[in-house]
Amino acid sequence: MKWGGEALVRGATAQFAGVGRLRRALVLLAAAACTAAALLYWRQQSGDRAHRPIHALYTEVEPQWSWVCRNYRCERLLASEMTTLQSLQTCNMLCDSTQLWPQPTGPVSLATAVVPVVIDGFSLKIVSSPSKEVSDLLSEAFEMMKDDINMQEEDDDIRQISYGSPRPVVVRVAINGSADPRMRLDTDESYKLFLRPVKKSLIVDITAQSFCGARHGFETLSQIVWRDPYAGTLLILEAATVVDSPHYSYRGLLLDTARNFFPTKAIIRTIDAMAACKMNTFHWHVSDSQSFPLRLDSAPQLAQHGAYGPDAVYTTQDVKTIVRHAKLRGIRVLLEVDAPAHVGRAWGWGPAEGLGHLAHCIEAEPWSAYCGEPPCGQLNPRNPHVYELLERIYREIIELTEVDDLFHLGGDEVSERCWVQHFNDTDPMDLWLEFTRGAIKSLERANRGKLPDISLLWSSRLTRSPYLERLDPNTIGVHVWGSSRWTESRAVLDSGFRAVLSHVDAWYLDCGFGSWRDSSDGHCGPYRSWQQMYEHRPWTEESAALVPGIGNAAAWHVMGGSACQWTEQLGPGGLDARVWPRSAAVAERLWSDRVEGATADVYLRLDTQRARLVRRGVHAAPLWPRWCEHNPNACL
């Protein structure tokens, strides 16, 4: 559906005929001056000449380039040669494909006519809401959306063209479903957005079944508003219809804040970027053997003995700030305290406080005998105080994050040798099962006697046969991180376990930087490009590999997936460019699951999304040279 485009072009032409003449005159003048200067110089090769930068006559006052849409792509042309001016942003928004990210899964139609708006012209009207809490959050989320739209620098503005006077935008939201605003396993995230001009204003109707759905609607709305630097104003498409719902219900990003510490504001920025891509799960791998920065009120010793320093700590207030922010962004915070392996010095205070050894092999050497990377440490599965502590930790995590239907228990990379040293009478796999059952009991007690609907375990030897059979698929889900070519994802799914996929050879953001301990290649290289991340569709590969009659693909329950940023070799300074825009590619895979790979259309939309992230303060890496951003057609 395209309408209204003609009128716009005509209007603009009329306005700029005068400017165009002036510009042509200037160019001729400049050209003449230039040629004269050059000729003069060439004739008398020596001789110092007084010269002035002729370009100052025009580069300072008018844009260099103008874009036109030809054959569904924007082409860059010299502004001085054009009678009408159009910015790259506006051209992209109006030229063929949508610039939405992730691509909606339902019908979309967008106008090619634009209307100028100002941020204060946006108003919210809540038509129906199931609870006051939802209404309050909607109002806040609406303000956040306005900030997102407005977070676009204005010093680039040239104000050479005008699209008329701004019109007000009334956003009417109707939520008919859940009174619970949290991102839950059963949250219906679908929404419909219907934008149209009514008399002198624009009306946007957003209908959804939940707060999170309505928020996604805001996000989509923000993506059809942009700042036009040549007009110095915000523009919005005059009309739009979007029907949308996600393909997968779990769309995650893992950040490891234990290998290296990341300040709260870096986490908030990451959550903002996730929201811009409609991701819904911030998987916070908060602790590991290297450090334990989470200062819990109920077990402050962990951070005291485990944090890198006095300010490398997340206080409960910090966590609440992050959770609150995430909630407004339609994102659940899944806080993982990994156990029984991946623990360290944080658990070393047991003997001094009379609780015995809470963990063994802490910082044991040589590390390669007791763990996958230094320093080592593994919880003591036979110390009842460990389970009491876990219960406290789990209870406080559930209180802080308000997530009680989903939990992440950690549970990967247990060193059998570490336990064998201390418990040589028991098969370490039995100990591991024993520990897992104990931890699940702690979780049940922590969650007021009721297990969360799903408790996730990292895939490991424990989630393979013959141990997998000893776990309960009704309560346990498996977070599969092995290679996509391994059979474990299939085995887990065939056995009826719900799965979150984070294949190390596709969705690990940390791979490809070599080993951090020596000059070897490291365990999981090479680096995966955004294209590879985008094109990873393990569910189709798996079903294609299925031998007919074996396996039961129809009954598989893939909850979704998660990009994983482990941080052995990453500090706060490099976070954004490492994670973005690659995680955005994963986000669209999980939301839209389009059959196409990284086609030209995907490049263009992702480039626009990347620019959006940059304007919102996220230092996302570029997809290609800036010339390609200016000449998209030529680089595809």
Question: Least separation, in Å, of the C-beta of 514 and another protein?
Answer: 4
Q: Does 232 bind another protein (CB under 8 A)?
A: no
Q: Does 372 bind another protein (CB under 8 A)?
A: no
Chain positions 347 to 366 lying near another protein, rule: CB under 8 A, are 348, 352-355, 363, 365
The H or E element spanning position 21 is: helix 5-43
Contact code string over 512-531 relative to another protein, x by CB under 8 A: xxxxxxxx-x---xxx-x--
Counting beta carbons within 10 angstroms of the beta carbon of residue 137, is it exposed (0 to 12), middle (13 to 18) or buried (19 or more)? buried
Nearer to another protein, 385 or 594 (CB): 385
Q: Which residues pair with 557 in a beta bridge?
A: 498
Chain positions 57 to 76 lying near another protein, rule: CB under 8 A, are 58-60, 63-65
Nearer to another protein, 103 or 301 (CB): 301
Among 43, 51, 132, 200, binds another protein (CB under 8 A): 51
# residues contacting another protein (CB under 8 A) = 99
Q: What's the per-residue H, E or C state across 323-384? A: HHHHHHCCCEEEEEECECCCCCHHHCCCHHHCCCCCEECCCCCCHHHCCCCCCCCEECCCCH
Among 17, 34, 179, 545, binds another protein (CB under 8 A): 34
Q: Does 377 bind another protein (CB under 8 A)?
A: no
Q: Does 597 bind another protein (CB under 8 A)?
A: no
Q: Does 553 bind another protein (CB under 8 A)?
A: no
Q: Does 303 bind another protein (CB under 8 A)?
A: yes
Contacts of 475 (CB under 8 A, 6+ apart): 440, 451, 452, 453, 454, 455
Quick check: 115 and 163 in contact, CB under 8 A?
yes
| Contacting range for another protein; rule: CB under 8 A; set: 52-60, 403-411, 440-448, 477-485 | 52-60
Q: Which residues pair with 407 in a beta bridge?
A: 455
| Contacting range for another protein; rule: CB under 8 A; set: 9-17, 368-376, 551-559, 584-592 | 368-376
Among 305, 461, 537, 594, binds another protein (CB under 8 A): 305
Q: Does 313 bind another protein (CB under 8 A)?
A: yes
Question: Least separation, in Å, of the C-beta of 443 and another protein?
Answer: 17
C-alpha span between 489 and 503 (Å, rounded): 9
Q: Does 301 bind another protein (CB under 8 A)?
A: yes
Q: Does 44 bind another protein (CB under 8 A)?
A: no
Catalytic residue among 402, 413, 416, 444: 413
Question: Least separation, in Å, of the C-beta of 486 and another protein?
Answer: 24
Chain positions 107 to 146 lying near another protein, rule: CB under 8 A, are none
Contacts of 124 (CB under 8 A, 6+ apart): 138, 139, 142, 171, 173
C-alpha span between 168 and 120 (Å, rounded): 8
Question: Least separation, in Å, of the C-beta of 26 and another protein?
Answer: 12
Q: Does 204 bind another protein (CB under 8 A)?
A: no
Tokens 């599965």, located at residue: 381
Q: What's the per-residue H, E or C state across 46-71? A: CCCCCCCCHHHHCCCCCCCEEEEEEC
Number of other CB atoms surrounding residue 4 within 10 Å: 15
Q: Does 431 bind another protein (CB under 8 A)?
A: no
140 annotated active-site = no
Among 43, 132, 199, 626, binds another protein (CB under 8 A): 626
Nearer to another protein, 168 or 525 (CB): 525
C-alpha span between 257 and 495 (Å, rounded): 33
C-alpha span between 430 and 426 (Å, rounded): 7
Among 67, 218, 226, 261, binds another protein (CB under 8 A): 261
Q: What is the CA radius of gyration of the chain?
A: 28
Q: What's the per-residue H, E or C state across 461-526? A: HHHCCCCHHHCCCCCEEEEECCCCCCCHHHHHHHCCCEEEECCHHHHECCCCCCCCCCCCCCCCCC
Label residues 500-510 b or e (16+ Cβ within 10 Å = b): bbbbbbbbbbb
Among 7, 17, 25, 78, binds another protein (CB under 8 A): 78
Question: Least separation, in Å, of the C-beta of 151 and another protein?
Answer: 16
Q: Does 485 bind another protein (CB under 8 A)?
A: no
Q: How far does Cα 577 stand from its chain's mean position?
A: 12
* Of the candidates 480, 463, 490, 472, the residue with the CA atom closest to the CA atom of residue 546: 490
Contact code string over 561-580 relative to another protein, x by CB under 8 A: ------xxxxx-xx-xxx--
Classify strands 73-78 and 65-70 as parallel, antiparallel or unpaired.
antiparallel
Chain positions 241 to 260 lying near another protein, rule: CB under 8 A, are 258-260
Chain positions 449 to 468 lying near another protein, rule: CB under 8 A, are none
Q: Does 207 bind another protein (CB under 8 A)?
A: no
Active-site positions read 413
